Amino acid sequence: MRSVDWPGRWMQDRLGYEPRDLSLFRAALTHRSAAGPNNERLEFLGDAVLNLVIAHHLYAAFPHAAEGDLSRLRARVVSREPLAEVALGLGLGETLQLGSGELRSGGFRRQSILADALEAVCGAVFLDGGLPAVEPMIARLFAARIAALPEPAALKDAKTRLQEYLQSRSLALPRYAVLNIEGEDHAQTFRVSCEVPDLGRCAQGHGSTRRRAEQEAAERMLNEIETHPEPDRSA
């Protein structure tokens, strides 16, 4: 049985926010498996609010990042896993209203439920206090994660970095080819080559999928180029 002021005290203690309309936050912290208004609509709204606020802060923090880089950075902050981790840190699972089935199965620890509930709380704060209330709250919750983000270039996969390197020097794109596939259908290993004809270089990679093998081959090609740079062609 929840107390009369649920979840107002939790909001004040954990988020430093005093709700005006408690019904919004009761819905935000009620999973669809429980009776009464649930957080699905607020989750939809909160997802948009979170993306807006985080995008705004990333835009300011990385003034030279391109659109694709900013999108990758944002995904590092607002995807399911980091949202669930923030929710766990707030003790959000302990205050969630869940149906009996979800309670028995440990739903209060499930990433998807925690992430959705955090989004719903953000949506409720936005409705209750507007952007001036929700933006500083989100900024506090995610400040450390934004500060710890790597430089945008580090988020690009090896194939993308190799392609951009070659394009910046007007060189032909690499050629990938499957050299060998070993193992049973459910446990295959791919061996792939990555050839850069204009540099006269070839590297190989292994992986449980063709894509992973290509990524490893591209990474090895980049390492080879970095270790033994191409000669100056302008001479």
Comparing CA positions, the residue from 158, 154, 156 lying closest to residue 203 is 158
Domain count across the chain: 2
pLDDT in tens, 53-70: 999 999 999 999 989 889
CB 86 within 8 A of CB 142: yes
pLDDT in tens, 101-138: 998 888 889 999 999 999 999 999 999 999 999 999 99
Residues 62 and 126 in one domain: yes
The verdict on whether 157 is a catalytic residue reads no
Residues 58 and 139 in one domain: yes
Q: 206 lies in which domain range?
A: 156-227
User: From the candidates 119, 128, 135, 219, which is the catalytic residue?
Assistant: 119
Tell me: pLDDT of 198 over 50: yes
Tell me the backbone φ, ψ of residue 89, rounded to 5 degrees: -60, -25
In a domain, 30, yes or no: yes
The verdict on whether 119 is a catalytic residue reads yes
In a domain, 1, yes or no: no
Query: How far apart (Å, rounded) are the C-alpha atoms in residues 26 and 7?
Result: 6
Residues 146 and 163 in one domain: no
pTM over 0.85, yes/no: no
CATH of the domain at 188: 3.30.160.20
User: From the candidates 47, 102, 128, 195, which is the catalytic residue?
Assistant: 47
Query: How far apart (Å, rounded) are the C-alpha atoms in residues 133 and 53?
Result: 12
Last residue of a domain, one of 150, 171, 198: 150
CATH of the domain at 113: 1.10.1520.10
